[in-house]
Amino acid sequence: MSHLLHALLILLTLLWLAPPARADVLVLAHGYLGSAASWEQSGVVPVLVSKGWQRAGLLSTSPGGVRELPAAGRKAKNKIYLVELPSIAPIGMQADHLGAMLRLLAARHSRERFLLVGHSVGGVVLRLALIRGDVPNPAALITIASPHLGTPRAEQALDATDDPWPVEVVKDIFGGGDYQTLKVSRGLYLDIVRQQPGSLLFWLNHQPHPEIRYVSILRGGPFVMGDILVPGISQEMNNIPALRGRATSLIAGSGHELAWPDGYLLASQLEKLRK
C-alpha cells in the first residue's frame, strides 16, 4: 500500500505542476458577398469540428448592438465563432462591426488566445481590426485568397459603374441585379484597388502589425498565379511592407471560394499553434 500511496502522490504532484490546457478562440470572417454560412456550407467548419473544435456561436450586429446565436461549445477548450459582416460595405465599416463583436468576445474570454481566419476581403478586415487593437490576446492571423495588395477586378468594377447620363440610366434599367450589386459595392471597391499612395491598403500595409504568427493560404496551383479574382502576389502577406519575411505561405487549390480541404489545412496549422 505504501508503494501505491507514493505513486499516487507523485501523480497528483505532476498534475498540479502541469500547465493548464490552453484554451483558444477561433474567429472566422467571410469575404465579399459571402456570409457566416459560407464556412459551414463549404465544409470547413464540419472538418474543424471533426478535429476537436466546437461551435460556440454566430455573431452579427444590428442597430441595437451585437446579436448572438449561441451554440453548445461556448465553454469548450477549442471554440469557433462565426461573424456576420456587411460584406458589401467599405473595409473600415466592416471593421467597425467586427470590433463590436470582438469586444463582446473579449469580455467573455479575457484570458484566452484569439486565432483569426479570414477568407478573401475578410482577411483584410481582420488585419485592420488587428492594427486598431480590437483583437484581445491575438496569437495568429491566417488569410485565404485575400487581396492584401488589392485587385484589378475592383478597378474593373469601378469602371463598369462610372457611366455618364444617359448610359447609367440604361444600365440601371437593363443591367439587372448584378449591376446593382456592383453599384452598391463601390465603397468597398475603392478600398481594394491595387495599393497606391493615398489608398487604404497602402496606409494599412505600412502600419506596425502585432508580433503574432501570420499565414497566407494562396490560390493558383504550382505557379501561384492567383485565382480569377485576386492575383497570387496580392494574396501573399510577405509582400506587405510591414510583414515582409514574417509570414508562412501555403498553396491550396486554384478556385477563389472556400472548399472543404481548407478545413484540413486550417486544422493542421491550428494544431501547430497549440504546441
- Give residue-wise pLDDT tens across range 27-80: 999 999 999 999 999 999 999 999 999 999 999 999 989 999 999 999 899 999
**Tens of pLDDT, residues 78-99:** 999 999 999 999 999 999 999 9
Least confident of 79-83, 203-207, 212-216, 269-273: 269-273
pLDDT over 70 percentage in the chain: 85
15 pLDDT tier (thresholds 50, 70, 90): very low
Query: Grid coordinates representing 219?
Result: 490560390
Position 225 scores a pLDDT of: 79
Mean pLDDT of 154-178: 72
pLDDT of 20 reads 46
Residue 221 confidence class, pLDDT cut points 50, 70, 90: low
pTM for this structure? 0.89
Give me the pLDDT at residue 216, please: 97
CATH level 3 topology of 22-151+192-273:
Rossmann fold (3.40.50)
Return the higher-pLDDT residue of 136 and 270: 270
Q: Which residue has the higher pLDDT, 175 or 238?
A: 238
pLDDT surpassing 70 at residue 21:
no
Concatenating the DSSP letter of every residue in the chain gives: -HHHHHHHHHHHHHHHHSPPPP-EEEEEE--TT--THHHHHTTHHHHHHHTT-EEEEEEEEETTEEEEEE-GGGGSSEEEEEE---TTS-HHHHHHHHHHHHHHHHHHSTTSEEEEEEETHHHHHHHHHHHHT-SSSEEEEEEES--TT--HHHHHHHHHT---TTHHHHHHHHSHHHHHHHHHTHHHHHHSSSP-TTSHHHHHTTS---SSEEEEEE-SGGGT-B-SSSBHHHH-GGGSGGGTTTEEEEE--SSSS--HHHHHHHHHHHHHHT-
Share of the chain above pLDDT 90, in %: 76
Please report which confidence band the pLDDT of residue 253 belongs to, taking 50, 70 and 90 as the band edges.
confident
The residue that leads in pLDDT, 163 or 42, is 42
Positive/negative CA dihedral, 46, 250, 157, 175: negative
